[in-house]
């Protein structure tokens, strides 16, 4: 073997290149994104919490949209020893974003982009405060995912993914959407990501609490018994969005909701899955965020208020 090659190998093992993507959080959607990124040939590491050490499986069992199951070898590490990070994709539940990122304060080199992909709103601002020297990017996705065991994931619906800047520094990182698109089939960059976040919030306010309370798949919301509730939820969200200065109509929101109901008809929403498994739901970041904004503007949102209370009582 030529000596140059040996040297090169040595260098690689002493200073391994950071993976293209480091994912924080490996729930249903995190597991599916990690699998799709790895399958697209982008090196990926998943950072887990210490409690997963005991149940760490050798690989990730991934079933793709076409029903093909594969055991994928994806590098896994622990938040306590994060290793070198090139870019961080945070895919925990909304309520876990700040607690999961906190151990990385002061350890993540300045300039490393942080991409947030969770349901709900109000979290990105807290991340910017804690990581003032990092580009912070917010994302929304409508991909469907299910987890049926430790590191057993299924991709259940091909959706859309959009990223956009939360702070000024993030504006230079539009290329991240192209890299995600290589794995997901589609992903776009939108400087007005806040509008898309609100549109997704409307979808989650409508689909998640109703499916969780009535224990139905997303598709069942197209039945007439849900028509009034869905319409009223959209009217209330549109009122609050208009107060925020965002151009929107309740008809447009309802159209978007019904499109997702149809596209994810066979899915169980994340809130349904969380309630069934006795896990904390994302109600605070979804309907809770809407209620806080409604209070700020003095707008009545009785249907969303009722759904919020019903979920809080049951969860
Ligand atoms: O985001 C979702 C969720 O379940 O949290 C939708 C789009 C409603 C898909 O189920």
Q: Would you list the domain boundaries of the chain?
A: 3-191, 195-314
pLDDT digit string, tens, across residues 253-285: 999 999 999 988 988 999 999 999 999 999 999
Q: Which of 41-55, 81-95, 214-228 has the lowest mean pLDDT?
A: 41-55
Give residue 17 CA to ligand 1 midpoint distance, Å.
Answer: 35
Per-residue confidence (pLDDT) for residue 89, from 0 to 100: 98
Report whether residue 141 contacts ligand 1, using a CB cutoff of 6 Å: no
Give residue 5 CA to ligand 1 midpoint distance, Å.
Answer: 49
Question: Exposed/middle/buried for 88, CB within 10 Å: 0-12, 13-18, 19+?
Answer: buried
262, 270, 282: residue to mutate for ligand 1 pocket, most atoms within 8 A of CB: 270
Residue nearest (by alpha carbon) to ligand 1 atom 10: 269
Of the candidates 259, 219, 245, 250, which has an alpha carbon nearest to the alpha carbon of residue 232? 250
Report whether residue 273 contacts ligand 1, using a CB cutoff of 6 Å: no
Average pLDDT taken over every residue of the chain: 92
Residue nearest (by alpha carbon) to ligand 1 atom 2: 269
**Average pLDDT of span 291-315:** 97
The tokens describing 109, both together, are 């080199």
pTM: 0.91
Question: Thinking of the domain 195-314, which architecture would CATH place it in?
Answer: Orthogonal Bundle (1.10)
119, 200, 274: residue to mutate for ligand 1 pocket, most atoms within 8 A of CB: 119
Asked if residue 219 lies in contact with residue 262, where contact means CB atoms within 8 angstroms, the answer is yes
**Average pLDDT of span 302-309:** 98
Per-residue confidence (pLDDT) for residue 51, from 0 to 100: 77
Of the candidates 139, 240, 155, which has an alpha carbon nearest to the alpha carbon of residue 197? 139
Give residue 2 CA to ligand 1 midpoint distance, Å.
Answer: 54
Give residue 201 CA to ligand 1 midpoint distance, Å.
Answer: 10
Nearest atom of ligand 1 to the alpha carbon of 282: 5
Residue nearest (by alpha carbon) to ligand 1 atom 7: 142
For the domain 3-191, what is the CATH superfamily, name and number?
A: NAD(P)-binding Rossmann-like Domain (3.40.50.720)
Give residue 270 CA to ligand 1 midpoint distance, Å.
Answer: 6
Nearest atom of ligand 1 to the alpha carbon of 218: 10
pLDDT digit string, tens, across residues 81-104: 899 999 999 999 999 999 999 999
Q: What percent of the chain has pLDDT over 90?
A: 83
Report whether residue 203 contacts ligand 1, using a CB cutoff of 6 Å: yes
120, 222, 260, 285: residue to mutate for ligand 1 pocket, most atoms within 8 A of CB: 260
Topology alike, domains 3-191 and 195-314: no
- On the question of pLDDT at 13 being above 70, the answer is no
| Residues known to be catalytic | 200
């Amino acid at each position: 073997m030529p000596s140059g090659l040996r040297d090169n190998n040595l260098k690689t093992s002493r200073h391994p290149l950071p993976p293209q993507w480091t994912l924080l959080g490996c729930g249903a959607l995190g597991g599916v994104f990690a699998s799709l990124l790895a399958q697209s040939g982008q090196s990926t590491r998943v950072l887990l919490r210490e409690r997963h050490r005991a149940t760490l499986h050798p690989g990730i069992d991934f079933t793709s949209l076409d029903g093909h199951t594969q055991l994928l070898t994806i590098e896994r590490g622990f938040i306590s020893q994060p290793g070198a990070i090139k870019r961080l994709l945070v895919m925990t539940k909304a309520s876990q974003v700040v607690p999961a990122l906190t151990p990385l304060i002061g350890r993540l080199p300045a300039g490393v982009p942080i991409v947030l992909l969770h349901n709900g709103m109000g979290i990105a601002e807290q991340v910017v405060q804690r990581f003032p020297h990092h580009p912070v990017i917010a994302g929304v996705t409508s991909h469907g995912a299910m987890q049926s065991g430790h590191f057993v994931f299924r991709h259940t619906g091909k959706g859309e993914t959009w990223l956009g800047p939360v702070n000024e520094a993030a504006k230079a990182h539009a290329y991240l959407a192209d890299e995600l698109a290589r794995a997901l089939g589609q992903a776009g960059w939108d400087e007005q990501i806040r509008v898309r976040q609100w549109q997704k919030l409307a979808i989650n306010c409508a689909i998640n609490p109703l499916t969780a309370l009535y224990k139905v798949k997303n598709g069942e919301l197209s039945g007439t018994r849900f028509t009034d509730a869905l319409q009223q939820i959209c009217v209330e969200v549109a009122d609050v969005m208009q107060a925020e200065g965002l151009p929107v109509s309740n008809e447009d929101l309802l159209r978007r909701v019904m499109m997702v109901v149809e596209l994810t008809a066979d899915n169980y929403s994340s809130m349904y899955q969380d309630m069934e498994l006795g896990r904390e739901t994302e109600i605070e970041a979804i309907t809770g965020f809407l209620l806080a904004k409604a209070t700020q503007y003095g707008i009545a949102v009785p249907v969303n208020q009722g759904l919020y209370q019903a979920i809080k009582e049951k969860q």
